[in-house]
Amino acid sequence: MTEHELGTPHLRLEREGPIAWCTIDRPAKRNALTPAMYFGIKRAVRLVNADAELRALVITGVGDVFAPGGDLGGRVEPGEEPVPDGVGNDILPFLAVRDSRAPVISAVNGLCQGGGLLIAMLSDVAVVSDRATFRAPELLRGIPDAFYAAVLPAHVGLAVARDMLLSGRVLEADEALALGLVARIVPHDELRSAALEAAHQVLRSAPDARMHVKRMLNERYGSIDTQTMNWSLETSAELREGMTAFMEKRPPSWIPEGVDP
């Protein structure tokens, strides 16, 4: 498999027997996901489901970062294929990961937040390094993320979801496990083998029955209000200010005087 299949040089898709590994590999930008990278992860899910010789997908990152979410600079990197016009939120891989017939395992090797955390939560199993950290920082950037509003309460309960989304605080791996944000924590050096074992365990279940159970489990998620989210992405002054402040490495203007940024 080649980078061309995924449309970006920052994703690698490699075979290991019946398992495919999709590695997020953009260390110079801390694995921040460009639109082409988001779309490429969705492509990886589709490729694995279309290949009779592949039965599961493992998603992981390089270095000390799994994925921090989208590149707020909106960069298009050299070598990336343009995302089709008019695709909008359809570039995002979250629902493809959730609904994949082939099991998807996240091997979370380090920092995991934003869209990266959504990928981990919507995988069939998230296997997590004991060095990993987690955060949902969208509201700190002015983004009313509909995916988080729908998904996070089903994993951690409403009180913890409020805490995580409204504060944007960082969770260490052991707290994320205790709260139900992720399923398994392992020593960092054992992450690869533990992710493979998780994939093999899931593949021992009957595929048709597994899909029925996944569908029933997914009904526990709330509805995804992409209409509000899309409106905000197109019109919100808060979003523009949040993005600008992030790029300029300053606090956004809505933080009151006397509050630590």
**Per residue in 78-88, pLDDT tens?**
889 887 665 56
Q: Which residues contact 89 (CB under 8 A, 6 or more apart)?
A: 226, 229, 230
With contact defined as beta carbons under 8 Å apart, do 158 and 166 qualify? no
- The pLDDT, as a whole number, for residue 96 is 98
Q: Which residues contact 222 (CB under 8 A, 6 or more apart)?
A: 149, 150, 151, 153, 154
Three-state secondary structure call for residue 11: strand
Three-state secondary structure call for residue 43: helix
Q: Is the pLDDT of residue 2 over 60?
A: no
The CA distance from 63 to 53, in Å, is 29
* Superfamily for the 3-189+203-218 domain: 2-enoyl-CoA Hydratase; Chain A, domain 1 (3.90.226.10)
Q: Which residues partner with 111 through β-bridges?
A: 65
Tens digits of residue pLDDT in 111-161: 999 999 999 999 999 999 999 999 999 999 999 999 999 999 999 999 999
Q: Which residues contact 232 (CB under 8 A, 6 or more apart)?
A: 142, 143, 144, 238, 239
- In terms of Cβ atoms closer than 10 Å to its own Cβ (0-12, 13-18, 19+), residue 168 is middle
The CA distance from 36 to 203, in Å, is 29
Structure token digits, residue 221: 């998620």
Q: Which residues contact 192 (CB under 8 A, 6 or more apart)?
A: 60, 107
Tens digits of residue pLDDT in 24-60: 999 999 999 999 999 999 999 999 999 999 999 999 9
Residue extents of the structural domains in the chain:
3-189+203-218
- Please give the sequence-ordered ranges of beta strands (E in DSSP) within the chain, or none if there are none: 11-16, 19-24, 56-61, 65-67, 104-108, 111-113, 125-129, 133-135, 171-172, 184-186
The CA distance from 21 to 12, in Å, is 8
Q: pTM score, two decimals? A: 0.94
